[in-house]
Chain A
Amino acid sequence: MQLNGYKQDEFFIVKVNGRLDAITAPEFEKTCLEWIQQGESRLVVDLDGLQYMSSAGLRSILIVGKRLKSVGGSFSFCSLTPNVAHVFSISNFGSMFPVHDSLHKALGKA
């Protein structure tokens, strides 16, 4: 998994590539919580380069989502690959979190 975060407008973009599974999810969760701790509260996760996500990835997303909710932040996702979109769909995460086709749309520039 490769994980990067950068500021764009009022949002903080989280770019995660590779795999979000039982091995990598703890690092994703820890890093996102650190970014929130540092004051970032409007996270957009760009999943364009994420090929695989298991329940461990979903759980880490829920934990980050709960933390953002507690600080009054926002948490959205964009550019899901087919496998990840399928996992989002059957777990109902597509209803729990805003999901956008592209980063452009996620930033409200559509």
Chain B
Amino acid sequence: MATLHLPAAMESLESFRSFVLRELGREKGLDGLAPQAELISEEILVNAINYAYPLGNGEIEVECMAEGPEMFRVTVRDWGVPLNPLDQPAPDLTTEVGNGRVGGLGIYLAKQMASRLVYEYWDGAIP
């Protein structure tokens, strides 16, 4: 299990991305998960960067761990306000450009790509 702890800022995104892909690369046979791991991580991280600390600066920690032969777990932890992104309604992806409500697109993509997506709020921090 490996962790990376950085400021909750867009400038940290590239370092988090490299970290997730490097940790995934250490696991035998999980290379094929790279596109999903990259996209899901970005969506969850951007959400945390944008919304976890509305009143100031904070930090985010990413933890990576293989879970069995075909599963890779990425945990994004912050110490900000409780906000479950999974509660967002699905975006309205109508076929008419300009009519749909597209908020929640990132979380929607993450839900589609992840085999499991869980939010927990625990004793002041998301465990």
Contact = CB atoms under 8 A, between A and B. Distances in A.
Nearest to A95: B95
Contacts of B105: 55, 58-59, 91
B97 A56 contact: no
Contact of B97 (A21, A65, A86, A87): A65
What does DSSP make chain B's interface, helix, strand, loop or mixed?
helix
Contacts of A92: 93, 95
Contact of A96 (B43, B95, B112): B95
B95 A55 contact: no
Contacts of A23: 10, 13-14
Question: Contact residue range for chain B?
Answer: 20 to 34
A69 B43 CA distance: 28
A54 B98 contact: no
Contacts, number: 62
Interface in B39-63: 39, 42-43, 46
B43 to A, nearest CB: 6
Given A21-B42, A22-B10, A54-B39, A66 B109 contact: no
Interface in A7-25: 21-23
Given A22-B42, A52-B38, A90 B112 contact: yes
Interface in B90-127: 93-98, 102, 105-106, 108-109, 112-113
Given A21-B42, A22-B46, A90-B112, A55 B97 contact: no
Question: Contact residue range for chain A?
Answer: 20 to 34
Contacts of B95: 92, 95-96
B29 interface: no
B13 A83 contact: no
B98 A66 contact: yes
A62 interface: yes
A66 B97 CA distance: 6
Contact of A83 (B35, B42, B98, B106): B35
Interface of A: 21-23, 52, 54-56, 58-59, 62, 65-66, 69, 75, 83, 86-87, 90-93, 95-97
Interface of B: 10, 13-14, 35, 38-39, 42-43, 46, 93-98, 102, 105-106, 108-109, 112-113
